[in-house]
Structure 1
Amino acid sequence: MNFPLGHISSLCKYTGISFTAGAITHGFFSGERSFWTAAFGIAIYLVGGTLEKISNPDKDHSWTDVLAIGIVASIGLGFFTGGLQHFPDSPARSSWVVPVGFAMSLLAMYLMEGKGKVKVRSVLIYGVISLALVIAASLYSLSYFNEHGGDGHSHDHGAPAQVAAPSMKEVRIEVDDTMRFSPATWEAQAGEPIRIILVNKGKVDHELVIGTEKEIIAHAKEMANPSTKGHHHTNEVSAKPGQVAELVWTFKKPGQYAMACFEPGHYEAGMKGIINVVPKKH
């Protein structure tokens, strides 16, 4: 065995799974960038499988195993690990992504390692029982998180309000494809719930994410990573073209906060703004 080449192959395979899992958990079904992230992850996984075969030629894996079955394995492992990681903040999607990923990984494992070596009957018994347990656990988790809510990756500078009162202050923010918020600067009081109304007059998706300047900058760097997409935070509201969306928010402390849109390329194009939060008036 060629040890250095074997190590590199392992790095490639696990990196590929990580990219695929990232694409799944951050919006594989909602953005072109995530599609290409998944494709890149699968490709890297296949490179790892190819290097593994070259480094260990005595291992009984055909090129069909490495390439065709490798695709099933990388997607299945990406589905399973990604779905588990983000079950709290995307339970509806994870409830079926996890079982599908488990089934795909099981199939790939049998075709690559078990075919002709273990009895089909024993694999079927194990597969039916284990998949049933995974499905049951996923459905229970879906019910639990729908009832209690997930972690939502919330931030400590504010909190979403559950009910919008008729007398609540409203801030209407319009967006279009000029990549600007209108207004780009507005004021709020600490401790006062605000109904933020996002009106999308453009032809592409837009969003509004609230945070401190430090958080927004850090989030911009995070979103620049190809494996990151499709966040669903409690401090974020998004609207499809021609639609209106709302977020009820309460800032806990006075200070200057920021807002931004992290759809691909929007923040870089200048889609950002300032929120001045003043002390609550008594």
Structure 2
Amino acid sequence: MSLVTDHHSPSAPQQPRPGGGRAAARRGRRRARKPAPLGGRYIGYVLYFVGAGLISGAVVHHPLDPARYTKIAVIGVLVFLAATVVNEFLLATDRPALRRAVLIIAASLMLSFGIGMLSGGLQHFEDFPDRGAALVPLGIAVSFIAFVLKDAESSWRRIFGPLGLAVLLTAAVSFFGLRAVADGLGEPSGESGHSHGGGTEEEADDEHSTEEEPTAPTAEPSAPESSAPPEEESGHVDDGHSH
């Protein structure tokens, strides 16, 4: 009888529910969620690199044709933002809140320009030494700041920490070093050695006019016409006498 009473006693310890409640169930569903498909991850990374490539080319070549390369930069920004939406929202396991989402988009835009300045300045440094010497260190600093703001595992205070100081020193050293190299290379004033379509229109017109310039015909003196008959020219005059 006492055994039955002890078995049903309210003071007896109760076993915890398996699973740990709703929070544990939610965590279990997150862990059990299938990874993003391979095709989606591939498209996301391709969009990242294509967008950064378009931006890098537009940033470096902008002085050659501002209107054209501004359009290319805008297209690159849109592609990079599309990659951000795919990777950070559509394929992400935990979608960020609205405030965090706005910060991610802004930081991604900033990161795209930082990567574009860094890669474009390095790739076309010999074509644009002075411009490349400024773009490379600026790209290092901008890309680092944008990455820290975008990274969910980091705080913005890391920008001013030891790592941020190391990045700043790297950017400064690269600036002065590349400036010295650019001064050694020299850059022709007003023009760059990097051309995408031949010379300017004025040069083409000058060359065209030079090729088609007609040569003046050489005037040959014509023999004076003589009104005298052939007999008079030869000095024999017919006097009516026959010999």
TM-score range, shorter chain: 0.5 to 0.7
Residue matched to 2:91: 55
Q: If you compute each CA radius of gyration, which structure gives the higher value, 1 or 2?
A: 2
Contact persistence 1:17–1:75 (CA under 8 A): yes
CA RMSD of aligned residues (A): 3.5
Residue of structure 2 equivalent to 1:100: 138
Larger strand fraction of residues? 1
Matching of residues 168-179 of structure 1 within 5 Å: none
SS in 2 for 1:236: coil
Note if contact 1:12-1:44 (Cα within 8 Å) is conserved in structure 2: yes
Q: Give a deviation string over 1:166-188, Cα, whole Å, max 9, x none.
A: xxxxxxxxxxxxxxxxxxxxxxx
Q: CA deviation at 1:128?
A: 2.1
Contact 2:128 2:187 in 1 (8 A): no
Asked if 1 retains the 8 angstrom alpha-carbon contact of 2:53 and 2:116, the reply is yes
- Shift of residue 98 of structure 1? 1.7
In 2, distance between residues paired with 1:36 and 1:98? 22
**Unaligned segments of structure 2, at least 5 residues:** 1-34, 212-243
**Distance in 2, Cα, partners of 1:72 & 1:85:** 20
| Counterpart in the other structure of 2:162 | 122
| CA contact 2:59–2:116 (8 Å) conserved in 1 | yes
After superposition, the Cα gap between the structure-2 partners of 1:58 and 1:18, relative to the gap in structure 1 and judged at 3 Å, is same
Aligned residue type for 1:48 = A
Deviation (angstroms), 1:152: 2.8
Relative to structure 1, the CA distance from residue 60 to residue 133 in structure 2 (aligned partners, 3 Å threshold; closer, same or farther) is: farther
Distance in 2, matches of 1:25 and 1:77, equals: 12
Distance 1:67 1:28 in 2: 28
1:126-275 counterparts in 2 under 5 A?
A: 126-146=166-186, 152=193, 231=195, 236-237=199-200, 259=204
Query: Partner residue of 2:149?
Result: 111
Q: Give the 5 Å matches for 1:66-77.
A: 66-77=104-115
Q: What is the deviation of 1:90?
A: 1.1
**Residues 57-109 of structure 1 deviation map (CA, whole Å, 9 limit, x = unaligned):** 33879312431111101111111111111111111222212222221111111
Give the SS at the match of 1:87: coil
- CA shift in 2, pair 1:67/1:110, >3 Å: same
Assess if the C-alpha contact under 8 Å between 2:148 and 2:156 holds in 1. Answer: no
* Residue of 36, 41, 46 corresponding to 2:76: 41
**Contact 1:50/1:66 (8 A) holds in 2:** no
Q: Tell me the secondary structure at the aligned position of residue 108 of structure 2.
A: helix
Would the alpha carbon gap of residues 110 and 87 (structure 1) be closer, same or farther in structure 2, given more than 3 Å must change?
same
Residues 145/238 of structure 1: CA separation in 2 closer, same or farther (3 Å cut): farther
Cα distance in structure 2, aligned partners of 1:60 and 1:122: 28
Letter in 1 for 2:168: V
Tell me by how many angstroms 1:275 deviates. 7.5
Structure 1's unaligned 5+ residue stretches are 154-230, 240-246, 248-258, 261-271, 277-282
**Do the aligned residues in 1 keep the contact of 2:130 with 2:179 (CA within 8 Å)?**
no
Q: Which has more helix, going by share of residues?
A: 2
- Indicate conservation of the 8 Å contact 1:20/1:42, yes or no: yes
Q: Deviations over 1:146-165 (max 9, x none)?
A: 1899x935xxxxxxxxxxxx
- Identical aligned residues as a percent: 21
